[in-house]
Amino acid sequence: MSGPSRVAVQDRAAFLRRPEHRLLRVAALCGLLVLWEALTRVGWIPALFLPSPVGVLRELGEMAASGQLFVHVGASLRRLLLGFAAGGAAGVAVGVATGFFSRADAVGQPLIAATFPIPKIALLPLLILWLGIGEPSKVAVIALGVFFPMAINTYAGVRQADPLLVRAAVAFGAGRWSVIRKVIVPSALPMIFAGLKLGAGTALLLLVAAEMIAADSGIGFLVLHAGNIMDTTKLMVGIVCLSLLGVLSHWVLARVERLAVPWRHT
* HEC secondary structure over the chain: CCHHHHHHHHHHHHHHCCCCCHHHHHHHHHHHHHHHHHHHHCCCCCCCCCCCHHHHHHHHHHHHHHCHHHHHHHHHHHHHHHHHHHHHHHHHHHHHHHHHCHHHHHHHHHHHHHHCCCCHHHHHHHHHHHHCCCHHHHHHHHHHHHHHHHHHHHHHHHHCCCHHHHHHHHHCCCCHHHHHHHHHHHHHHHHHHHHHHHHHHHHHHHHHHHHHHCCCCCHHHHHHHHHHCCCHHHHHHHHHHHHHHHHHHHHHHHHHHHHHCHHHHC
User: Residues 6, 8, 9, 11: is their CA dihedral positive or negative?
Assistant: positive
Neighbours of 46 (CB within 10 A): 10
| pLDDT > 90: percent of the chain | 46
- Rounded Cα distance between 189 and 201, Å, is 19
Report pLDDT for 3: 52
Residue predicted with more confidence, 9 or 99? 99
Report pLDDT for 156: 93
Ranking 36-40, 202-206, 230-234 by mean pLDDT, the lowest is 36-40
- Rounded Cα distance between 99 and 152, Å, is 9
Encode pLDDT of 57-68 as tens digits.
899 999 999 999
Report pLDDT for 2: 53
Torsion, Cα of 187, 190, 194, 200 (10° steps): 90
Confidence of residue 16 (pLDDT cuts 50, 70, 90): low
Encode pLDDT of 211-266 as tens digits.
988 788 899 999 999 988 888 899 999 999 999 999 899 999 989 988 888 766 55
Report pLDDT for 80: 94
Report pLDDT for 207: 93
Q: Are 83 and 143 in contact (CB under 8 A)?
A: yes
Residue 5 has pLDDT above 80, yes or no: no
Cβ neighbours for 47, distance < 8 A, ≥ 6 positions apart: 40, 55, 232, 233
Report pLDDT for 15: 52
| Rounded average pLDDT over 93-120 | 91
What pTM does this model have?
A: 0.83
